[in-house]
Chains A and B, each alone.
Chain A
Amino acid sequence: QSALTQPASVSGSPGQSITISCTGTGSDVGSYNLVSWYQHHPGKAPKLMIYEVSERPSGVSNRFSGSKSGNTASLTISGLQAEDEADYYCCSYAGISTSVFGTGTKVTVL
């Protein structure tokens, strides 16, 4: 149950696109299309942004999109806005009803 690997920080200017990677193994990300992404503003409840690799829950902006290739999943935020500044975590199902989170990425809007 080792944490998935994410870059510690990613930054971009308003309007730009950024991509956050999430690298796991063949036992988690590579085995299941059950990767989700969470946005977390400190002091608030984490929010589900993407599930099943690329599906968006109702109410989440279409500026957020997800994809996966092999053992690496990615979250892309297009048209970056000031309100997108937050911590982002990927999460993958890892079998036998267990899950594993990524190390987290701090997104800064310049």
Chain B
Amino acid sequence: EVQLVESGGGLVQPGGSLRLSCAASGFTFSSYAMTWVRQAPGKGLEWVSIISDSGGGTYYADSVKGRFTISRDNSKNTLYLQMNSLRAEDTAVYYCAKGQCTSCPFDYWGLGALVTVSS
């Protein structure tokens, strides 16, 4: 059974940093692209970033480019999102999801981790 479990969320002050993790199981992690999608309170889903199966390709939404870094450790079956220079508008539930490739649909999702940016 495919499982994706996000962790590392919490309360952080504006300008601060946080690293999210997504532990994957039930599939060959190193064969799939992985993505982060977020949902601000009362808002819709927003695509944030994606990383290729090998980690050699990383792509970002304009809203987080230069502040967020996606990475993965295929030996640990874990996806990461390093978030720096956080802003109030980054407050959201962050979901990780898997896809066959970087242009493919996201076929399994986690339950999400809440990140709150507030002083």
**Is A51 a contact of B45 with CB atoms below 8 Å?**
no
Measured in the bound complex, the distance between the Cα atoms of B95 and A101 in whole Å is: 14
A45's partner among B46, B61, B103, B110 (CB-CB below 8 A) is B110
Interface bracket on B: 20 to 34
Let me know if B62 and A101 touch, CB within 8 A. no
Nearest Cβ in chain A — how far from B52, in angstroms? 8
User: Could you tell me the distance in whole angstroms from the C-beta of A23 to the nearest C-beta in chain B?
Assistant: 14
B1 interface residue per 8 A CB criterion? no
B105:A51 contact, CB within 8 angstroms: yes
A52 to chain B, nearest CB (A): 7
Interface size range of chain A in the complex: 20 to 34
- At the interface, yes or no: B12 with Cβ under 8 Å from chain A? no
Q: Tell me if A1 and B62 are in contact (CB < 8 A).
A: yes
Per-residue B-contact encoding for A87-110, CB less than 8 Å = 1, 0 else: 101010100111111111000000
Cα–Cα, bound, A36→B35 (Å): 15
Whether the pair B45, A97 counts as a contact (CB closer than 8 A) is: no
Please measure, in the bound complex, the distance between the C-alpha atom of A52 and the C-alpha atom of B100, giving whole angstroms.
13
Report which of B37, B103, B112 forms a contact with A101, defined as CB distance below 8 A. B37
Give chain A nearest CB distance to B93 CB in angstroms. 10
Residues B78-97 near A (CB distance < 8 A):
95, 97
The reply to whether the CB of B15 lies closer than 8 angstroms to some CB of chain A is no
Contact B45 A48 (CB under 8 A): no
The answer on a CB contact under 8 Å between A98 and B47 is yes
- Cβ-defined contact, A48 with B105, below 8 A: yes
User: Do residues A98 and B59 form an inter-chain contact, with CB atoms below 8 A?
Assistant: yes
> Quick one: closest A residue to B59, CB to CB?
A97
